[in-house]
Structure 1
């Protein structure tokens, strides 16, 4: 099983080999250098990408500061959903934290998937439901978990990012100050 096939099955559900081949034919290789923008606030996002290597920071300006929403890492999809799917100006900026390799599909080719892959609407619905479930989990964790519990969950799910990403970005994702993150990290990791 190829890496693309494994990722597609994990995100889109079971597809036949020929369906995966059709889907793969719509993606092209893309590269970004560190600090390049995938999309900037106010512009229109016309692509959806699978991160093959590297890290991208998804953030927004709020009250004069940058608030990091997420770090996209290898084997995750990245786009600005409102812009890509609803043709609205992007509310977010997505910027490369490292050199990045991507598999990308542009909006025009994405729209053609319905013609070439009859099962696509069903597959797309499953993908969107999975994205929504991830978002629900993040909202729930912010509303119901203590800062320590949010750190523990993030650490369990994204351990490798703690050594690759500036701590102020992780603190922002977790809804805490860098000082609080540093204190919790020292306490939790120091006790491991």
Structure 2
């Protein structure tokens, strides 16, 4: 619960110990084994989770090719937005790349929480703004940076991932082919 409290306070503002305890009571612990599916495309996601440990990949198939949209690690929230918030079929599949521990709230409990704890609406708004800001930053980097600049920026904030997940997933997140990624990585290693 200590990590939960820290994460909520850090990302969503100050809450009392009593409010944090009440929030925590809506979540349950969930474990995924490596390769387990959190939610699948064309289904409707019914949960939102905080990643306590492990790595998940958000991806889809397009023209027979996998496209990785996001790699989620410890202390990130994970859900499929269209399914969870809009009850529409998921666009993305979310899969555990490692054994993963989550704190999960079901859609039903989420709706109860919104009714029973009005302050949650402000927390939810902050969550959505953070998601929107992250997406804006990704779009900006794809529009304004070269592939090499995107690689270096991502590497600076996610060094450990480069030894934990297949590199083609990171290349996909960065919007580049595996070959381009490999050439940039080789140059980086040679210049180190």
**Which secondary structure does the structure 2 equivalent of 1:91 belong to?**
coil
> For residue 4 of structure 1, what is the aligned residue in structure 2?
4
**Which secondary structure does the structure 2 equivalent of 1:171 belong to?**
helix
> For residue 33 of structure 1, what is the aligned residue in structure 2?
33
Q: Deviations over 1:37-76 (max 9, x none)?
A: 1011111100000111111110011122110001111111
**Which secondary structure does the structure 2 equivalent of 1:109 belong to?**
helix
> For residue 123 of structure 1, what is the aligned residue in structure 2?
123
Kindly indicate whether the alpha-carbon contact (under 8 Å) linking 1:69 and 1:173 is maintained by their aligned counterparts in 2.
Answer: yes
Distance 1:12 1:189 in 2: 38
Distance 1:9 1:153 in 2: 27
Distance 2:113 2:189 in 1: 46
* Count of paired positions: 192
Please, what TM-score do these two structures have when normalized by structure 1? Answer: 0.96
Q: Deviations over 1:133-180 (max 9, x none)?
A: 001001111111101110111011111100001011000000111111
Give the deviation of 1:11 after TM superposition. Answer: 2.4
> For residue 53 of structure 1, what is the aligned residue in structure 2?
53
5+ long unaligned stretches in structure 1: none
**Which secondary structure does the structure 2 equivalent of 1:135 belong to?**
helix
Distance 2:47 2:72 in 1: 15
Distance 1:189 1:69 in 2: 25
Distance 1:62 1:9 in 2: 38
Distance 1:97 1:114 in 2: 31
Distance 1:144 1:51 in 2: 30
Kindly indicate whether the alpha-carbon contact (under 8 Å) linking 1:54 and 1:73 is maintained by their aligned counterparts in 2.
Answer: yes
Q: Does the alignment pair 1:24 with 2:24?
A: yes
**Which secondary structure does the structure 2 equivalent of 1:98 belong to?**
coil
Q: Does the alignment pair 1:189 with 2:189?
A: yes
Please, what TM-score do these two structures have when normalized by structure 2? Answer: 0.96
Distance 1:110 1:79 in 2: 12
> For residue 147 of structure 1, what is the aligned residue in structure 2?
147
Distance 1:75 1:191 in 2: 32
Give the deviation of 1:21 after TM superposition. Answer: 1.2
Kindly indicate whether the alpha-carbon contact (under 8 Å) linking 1:22 and 1:116 is maintained by their aligned counterparts in 2.
Answer: no
Aligned-pair Cα RMSD in Å: 1.2
